[in-house]
Amino acid sequence: MGLNTPVSAVFVFGDSTSDPGNNNFVSTPFRSNFTPYGRDFANHKATGRFTNGRLTSDFIAGYAGIKEYVPPYLDPTLSDEELLTGVSFASAASGYDPFTPRISKVIPMQKQLEYFKEYRSRIEQVIGKDKATQLVERALFLIVAGTNDFVLNYYAVPFRRVTFTVPQYQLFVLQIVHQFIQDLWGQGARKILVAGLPPMGCLPIVITTNAFTNNIFNHQRNCVESLSTVARNYNQLLQLELNIINIRLAAADPRTAIFYLDIYAPLAYLVQGPGRLGFEVVSRGCCGTGYVETSFLCNSKSHVCSDASKYVFWDSIHPTERAYYLVFMALRPVIDFIIRK
């Protein structure tokens, strides 16, 4: 563990799919540090993770031999040892677009980057500047964001739709992604993994709201193909952008490795129909009706399914621990490569 392993630490940026509890320390209603969240986590603890157990970022950290759980940076009780092996700066409901986190009053991506700069200063005081630089250069950086920019922002609030068509907005978001990676690289990051978008049209809340918007009672609970198409198109553009960034930055420092993480394909496979890999329910969450509940709407008074492992989604937005694990397993070849680089 630590500086004697191929990967020194794991750092995470993004939204609720990688927030282990930073929003617990932010004045926002978008939290999950209460039951039934965390029902299958260690000691049945509701940490602030928007699922019943661990996140994909936790599985990645464990696989890399760093730690079993990536803690939230804003937790004031973190020890120096915990800090040295990595933290998550992610904030549920955040996104690349600066307007997205304003909707839910959460931590913008740019602020997450500022927290990382603050983090560097803190560990320099613990292990010295040279060792801190080595730690960062050998660390694994994970960026998981973008879904909220479309689901909670572009399609839910008219503000951006007045200015951008969908293709224009995709390019707008990608410009921000580019700058974020550039800034992170400037802070010493060399092993960077960037997740694409999931099949957004298959999120239970999207299926539900689309049915209401179009006055259609969707008995079949089918995915909204138009939104999933937007996700696929964005992912193609993101891969091209990451290749360009990787080539340019690797020319400046050959240790640079920037890779795309395909979370779309494994999730799309799971939600194509009941029965795949033992999942029985694919279009609604385990909590409540599973159609709209998330965050404070999924609470101690909510009915909860008895076996979350049979559900792809825990609430109306977020996957279950088992689904997150299967996404991790699909990503392992890329993770293996970047760890060994």
Give me the phi and psi of 257, to 5 degrees please. Answer: -145, 110
Identify whether 318 is a catalytic site residue.
yes
Q: Which is nearest to 47 in space by CA: 298, 84, 55?
A: 55
Q: Which of 32, 309, 315, 316 is catalytic?
A: 315
The Cα–Cα gap between 152 and 94 comes to 9
- The four Cα atoms 103, 202, 165, 240 give a dihedral, to 10 degrees, of 100
Q: Which of 18, 91, 104, 318 is catalytic?
A: 318
Contacts of 337-340 with C-beta under 8 Å, sequence gap 24+, read 337/257, 337/259, 338/140, 338/191, 338/193, 338/257, 338/259, 339/6, 339/7, 339/64, 339/140, 339/191, 340/6
Q: Which is nearest to 102 in space by CA: 147, 49, 149?
A: 149
Q: Which of 16, 91, 104, 309 is catalytic?
A: 16
State CA 9 to chain mean position distance: 18
255-280: string of b/e by CB count within 10 Å (b at 16+)? ebbbbbbbbbebbbebbeeeeeeebe
- Whether the Cβ atoms of residue 50 and residue 317 lie closer than 8 Å to each other: yes
Identify whether 315 is a catalytic site residue.
yes
The Cα–Cα gap between 162 and 323 comes to 36
- Whether the Cβ atoms of residue 254 and residue 246 lie closer than 8 Å to each other: no
Give me the phi and psi of 18, to 5 degrees please. Answer: -140, 10
Query: Which residues 6+ apart lie within 8 Å of 168 measured at CB?
Result: none
Map tokens 């603890």 to a residue.
45
The Cα–Cα gap between 166 and 144 comes to 20
- Whether the Cβ atoms of residue 324 and residue 56 lie closer than 8 Å to each other: yes
How far apart are the two ends of the chain, measured CA to CA in Å? 17
Identify whether 16 is a catalytic site residue.
yes
**Residues that are catalytic:** 16, 315, 318
